[in-house]
């Protein structure tokens, strides 16, 4: 009887520990939500505008690789992506930051759109000659 109680106690303790790790891991962002789809998908302006950070994160790769923002005006970008969560200035250029959450664990949480006075918008942020497609702000 004592062995059976000892086994039950160890099992209950192990189960509790695993559940606590899963709960705190998901609450702290260490484990992505298993019920969300993080797979990449083609960019859609209407889905971007109505979607949350996860939906935007699913589309950012397509948006960047197809260069859909290149040469666009600020008004055009606003129509496609909506208002940014943040606006900053880097090396004299205005940069709009859109919050994205994607399948990879990274501290980079924003998709930057930089505006150049000569060529308009482009996806990415230029700093020190390097273009970044995701940034930490």
Q: What is the C-alpha separation between 98 and 110, in angstroms, rounded?
A: 5
Neighbour tally for 77: CB within 10 Å: 21
pLDDT at position 14: 63
Cα–Cα distance measured from residue 135 to residue 137, given in angstroms and rounded to the nearest whole number:
6
Q: What is the pTM of this model?
A: 0.69
CA–CA–CA angle 62, 120, 67 (5° rounding): 15
Which pLDDT score is estimated for 65? 85
Print pLDDT tens along the chain (137 aa).
555 556 666 666 667 655 655 555 444 455 566 677 778 899 999 999 999 998 998 888 888 888 888 899 999 999 999 999 999 888 788 889 999 887 766 667 888 898 888 888 888 765 555 556 555 55
> Which alpha helices (H) appear in the chain, and where do they start and end?
2-27, 45-50, 53-65, 74-81
């Amino acid at each position: 009887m004592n062995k059976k109680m000892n086994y039950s106690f160890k099992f209950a303790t192990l189960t509790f520990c695993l559940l606590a790790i899963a709960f705190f891991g998901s609450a702290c962002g260490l484990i992505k939500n298993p019920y969300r789809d993080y797979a990449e998908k083609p960019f859609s302006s209407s889905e971007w505008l109505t979607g949350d950070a996860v939906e935007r994160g699913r589309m950012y790769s397509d948006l960047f690789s197809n260069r859909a923002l290149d040469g666009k005006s600020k008004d055009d970008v606003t129509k496609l992506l909506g208002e940014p969560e943040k606006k900053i200035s880097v090396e004299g250029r205005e940069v709009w930051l859109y919050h994205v959450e994607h399948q990879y664990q990274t501290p980079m949480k924003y998709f930057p759109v930089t505006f150049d006075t000569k060529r308009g918008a482009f996806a990415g942020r230029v700093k020190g000659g390097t273009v970044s497609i995701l940034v930490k702000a």
